[in-house]
Amino acid sequence: MSRYRNIRTAINSLDEYKETLDSRGVKSIKQYRTQTLKTFDDSLIDYIERIWLDGDSFWKLAREAYGDPSLWYIIARFNNTPTEAHVKIGDIIKIPLDLAMALRVIV
What's the confidence (pLDDT) of residue 62? 96
Give the DSSP per-residue string, 2-48: -TTTT--EEEE--GGGHHHHHHHT-S-EEEEPPPPPPP--GGGS-EE
- Non-local (6+) Cβ contacts of 74 within 8 A are 62, 66, 96, 99, 102, 103, 106
What's the confidence (pLDDT) of residue 39? 67
- What distances in angstroms separate CA 19 from CA 11, 16, 24, one per listed residue? 16, 8, 9
What's the confidence (pLDDT) of residue 106? 76
pLDDT digits (tens, 9 = 90+) for 16-62: 888 988 999 988 888 877 666 666 677 788 999 999 999 999 999 99
Check the CA dihedral 12-18-19-25 and report its sign: positive
Check pLDDT > 60 for residue 1: no
pLDDT digits (tens, 9 = 90+) for 54-85: 999 999 999 999 999 999 999 998 998 888 99
